[in-house]
């Protein structure tokens, strides 16, 4: 009896705290996911009331859709470059802003500010910079890269997306790296100095191994956010020119809502979700393993 009451009390305590969060998580994430999987087996166009079962036809159409796989390859390249630049820049800025530089708190707030700007607004702001400001500067600085809009050519349009993504997320990862630097015990650093280690040796053999948890979190966040990019992609390049910057999320949206092939779009979204999950979980597993070894 006491055990039952104890279980009931624990259950009631759990539901009182976690119940609302679990309820909304199930309603917003789990149920839509299950319903979305069901839609991958139908020919629904997103508007009609009729949903005919078509088996695996949508998945077969997905594997025949070369545009989808091209967008996935493009998104992978974009994510890898963005993750590299975001974390390298964020790490070195965090190192600089924890070294006692004057006004470091002001700079921390300043670098974090771009992350507060929504992706749509951010894209429109940088669209003006790449399309109007850069060509205007060409008369002052006759550099070839400034001669025309960066968004008019596939190569520079892709580079512009990497730049904007890096500019937005570096400040967010910066704070995580700063917390990692601050969390390193001063006693450990002092002991390394006493043993004769210079700054480079201390950073390489002391700081970096102790910063592995920060790297795991930053890599996971920057990787997932770069793979799922849509809003900034829409406002900055709209997938152009010639679909050279059309990321997977935008391609899925086009299939589902513009082409009214909701079943195919949902199947592509599910495959895209699985790809992101596998890459992210693998990265997290390897990072956690490295964290334990460190």
- Over the stretch 13-67, which tens digit does the pLDDT of each residue have? 888 888 888 889 999 989 999 999 999 999 888 888 888 899 899 999 999 999 9
Classify residue 2: in a domain, yes or no. no
Per-residue pLDDT at 240: 87
Query: In the predicted model, is pLDDT for residue 292 greater than 70?
Result: no
Pull the structure tokens for residue 180: 């990692």
Classify residue 42: in a domain, yes or no. no
Classify residue 88: in a domain, yes or no. yes
What range defines the domain where residue 211 resides?
65-293
Pull the structure tokens for residue 79: 């994510």
Tell me the average pLDDT across 64-90. Answer: 94
Per-residue pLDDT at 1: 46
Q: What is the mean pLDDT of the chain?
A: 87
Classify residue 17: in a domain, yes or no. no
Query: In the predicted model, is pLDDT for residue 293 greater than 70?
Result: no
Q: Which of 286, 279, 245, 266 is closest to 75 using CA atoms?
A: 245
Lowest mean pLDDT among 109-113, 163-167, 225-229: 109-113
Rounded CA separation 192/119 (Å):
43
Q: Which of 252, 247, 253 is closest to 76 using CA atoms?
A: 247
Classify residue 104: in a domain, yes or no. yes
- pLDDT tens profile 89-114: 999 999 888 887 787 888 888 888 88
Q: Give SS3 for 142.
A: coil
Classify residue 103: in a domain, yes or no. yes
> What total of structural domains would you count in the chain?
1
- Percentage of the chain modeled with pLDDT above 90: 46
Per-residue pLDDT at 8: 78
């Amino acid at each position: 009896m006491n055990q039952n009451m104890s279980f009931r009390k624990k259950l009631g305590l759990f539901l009182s705290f976690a119940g609302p969060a679990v309820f909304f998580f199930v309603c917003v994430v789990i149920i839509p996911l299950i319903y979305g999987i069901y839609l991958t087996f139908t020919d629904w166009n997103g508007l009609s009331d009729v949903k005919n079962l078509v088996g695996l036809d949508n998945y077969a159409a997905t594997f025949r859709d070369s545009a989808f796989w091209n967008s996935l390859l493009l998104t992978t390249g974009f994510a890898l470059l963005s993750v590299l630049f975001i974390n390298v820049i964020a790490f070195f800025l965090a190192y600089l802003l924890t070294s006692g530089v004057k006004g470091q708190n002001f700079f921390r707030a300043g670098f974090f500010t771009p992350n507060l700007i929504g992706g749509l607004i951010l894209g429109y702001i940088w669209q003006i910079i790449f399309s109007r400001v850069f060509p205007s500067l060409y008369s002052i600085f006759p550099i070839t890269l400034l001669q025309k809009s960066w968004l008019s050519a596939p190569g520079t349009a892709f580079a512009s997306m990497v730049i904007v993504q890096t500019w937005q997320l570096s400040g967010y990862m910066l704070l995580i790296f700063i917390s990692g630097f601050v969390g390193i015990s001063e006693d450990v650093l002092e002991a390394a100095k006493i043993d004769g280690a210079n700054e480079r040796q201390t950073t390489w053999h002391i700081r970096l191994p102790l910063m592995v948890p920060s790297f795991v979190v930053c890599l996971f966040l920057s990787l997932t956010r770069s793979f799922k990019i849509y809003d900034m992609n829409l406002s900055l390049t709209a997938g152009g020119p010639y679909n050279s910057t059309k990321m997977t999320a935008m391609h899925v949206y086009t299939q589902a809502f513009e082409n009214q092939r909701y079943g195919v779009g949902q199947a592509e979204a599910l495959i895209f979700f699985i790809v992101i999950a596998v890459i992210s979980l693998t990265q997290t597993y390897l990072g956690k393993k490295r964290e334990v070894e460190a």
